[in-house]
């Protein structure tokens, strides 16, 4: 038997009396509305439908789905457009183009299957440590340039002889709900989480305290509004801490267990055992094309 408030179709939905938006999630393109339907309180969640992979070849071309575009920006090999699937509509799509794209770009943007690795202290000593030592210096030159005062100095929010804090390149510098800062430390001997010991606790607490102070003073974000974490494996081997608004959940691997470690947990563990990161098995996922994964598999450890 159908429920007395069962909805048949558009005519029922058209009686919706909108009250307010109670949730908004730009990452999943969704809105949740509160209002009334047929005298009863109702919640309506609206989200965009997924793009169909089988339409991949139909978007462009003379007879393609995309009927109109407007260029937003273009710099070097990157261009961004908004696109319309018919001419007289709200914009439907955002289109980002990289052209010409190198093989490195193709690898970076191609989906890789993730594989979970359990890195014992032995595996670290015999395989991962040398991988980190051989990591090309050129890939952290941009970090050196910031730490040595050669670039991005106007962006720096805080610095002392141990570390500096600046906006992460992923942040738009405006939207406080997606605030994203990064801390770079001066001590080049800390390559990753594995190198942290009890004598680093003061450094880690100072990072935490200064980050909290800065976001309070600059953006009026109270204590408890930041999620701070460390990647293992990180994308570059110069110790850094991610500092993000605790309400910001962009999806992807960045904040996920098996990739990220909460700074607060790291401090607490070091206080209990100053060699914990030397002794523990650290587990993380790697893309199946990763060079580190290849080395780990070849080691048979």
Give the helix/strand (H/E) hosting 276: helix 276-279
290 binds a second copy (CB under 8 A): no
123 binds a second copy (CB under 8 A): no
For a second copy, how many residues bind (rule: CB under 8 A)? 121
294 binds a second copy (CB under 8 A): no
Residue among 101 and 150 whose Cβ is closer to a second copy: 101
Smallest separation, CB 56 to a second copy (Å): 4
150 binds a second copy (CB under 8 A): no
136 binds a second copy (CB under 8 A): no
Please tell me the distance from the alpha carbon of residue 279 to that of residue 194, in angstroms, as a whole number: 9
Point out the catalytic residue in the list 105, 199, 240, 261.
240
In the annotation, is 29 catalytic?
A: no
Out of 73, 113, 172, 298, point to the residue binding a second copy (CB under 8 A): 113
CA dihedral 52→58→104→230, nearest 10 degrees, is -30
Q: Specify burial of residue 200 (Cβ count, 10 A radius: 0-12, 13-18, 19+).
A: buried
In 3D space, the residue among 193, 168, 152 whose CA is nearest the CA of residue 248 turns out to be 168
Structure tokens at 45: 């969640």
Residues 41 to 80: which contact a second copy by CB under 8 A? 41-51, 53, 55-57, 59-62, 64, 66, 68-71, 74, 76-77, 79
Query: Do the Cβ atoms of 43 and 32 come closer than 8 Å?
Result: yes
Annotate each residue in 248-267 with x if it binds a second copy (CB under 8 A) or - if it does not, as one string. -xxxxx-xxxx-xxx-xx--
219 marked as binding residue: no
Residue among 69 and 156 whose Cβ is closer to a second copy: 69
- Max Cα distance, the chain (Å): 73
Smallest separation, CB 149 to a second copy (Å): 30
Query: Do the Cβ atoms of 111 and 253 come closer than 8 Å?
Result: no
Please tell me the distance from the alpha carbon of residue 26 to that of residue 156, in angstroms, as a whole number: 28
* Part in contact with a second copy (CB under 8 A); list of ranges 16-24, 138-146, 158-166, 185-193: 16-24
In 3D space, the residue among 46, 23, 19 whose CA is nearest the CA of residue 34 turns out to be 19
Indicate the annotated binding residues. 142, 152, 168, 170, 231-242
Binding-site annotation: residue ranges for substrate: 142, 152, 168, 170, 231-242
């Amino acid at each position: 038997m159908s429920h007395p408030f069962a909805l048949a179709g558009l005519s029922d939905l058209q009686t919706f009396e909108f009250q307010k938006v109670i949730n908004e999630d730009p990452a999943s393109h969704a809105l949740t509305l509160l209002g009334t339907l047929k005298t009863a309180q109702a919640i309506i969640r609206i989200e965009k439908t997924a793009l169909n992979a089988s339409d991949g070849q139909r978007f462009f071309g003379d007879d393609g789905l995309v009927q109109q575009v407007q260029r937003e920006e273009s710099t070097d090999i990157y261009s961004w457009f908004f696109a319309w699937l018919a001419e007289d509509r709200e914009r439907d799509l955002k289109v980002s183009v990289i052209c010409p794209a190198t093989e490195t770009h193709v690898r970076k943007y191609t989906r890789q299957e993730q594989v979970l690795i359990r890195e014992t202290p032995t595996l670290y000593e015999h395989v991962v440590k040398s991988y980190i030592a051989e990591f090309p210096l050129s890939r952290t030159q941009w970090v050196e340039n910031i730490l040595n005062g050669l670039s991005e100095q106007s962006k720096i929010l805080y610095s002392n002889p141990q570390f500096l804090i600046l906006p992460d390149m992923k942040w738009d510098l405006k939207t406080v709900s997606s605030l994203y800062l990064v801390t770079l430390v001066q001590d080049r001997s800390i390559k990753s989480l594995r190198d942290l010991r009890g004598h680093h606790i003061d450094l880690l607490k100072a990072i935490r305290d200064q980050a909290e102070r800065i976001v309070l003073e600059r953006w009026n974000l109270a204590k408890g509004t930041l999620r701070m974490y460390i990647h293992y494996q990180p994308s570059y081997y110069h110790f850094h801490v991610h500092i993000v608004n605790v309400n910001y959940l962009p999806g992807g691997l960045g904040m996920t267990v098996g990739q990220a470690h909460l700074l607060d947990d790291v401090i607490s563990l070091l206080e209990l055992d100053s060699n914990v990161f030397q002794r523990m098995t650290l587990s993380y996922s790697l893309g199946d094309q990763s060079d580190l994964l290849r080395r780990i598999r070849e080691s048979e450890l």
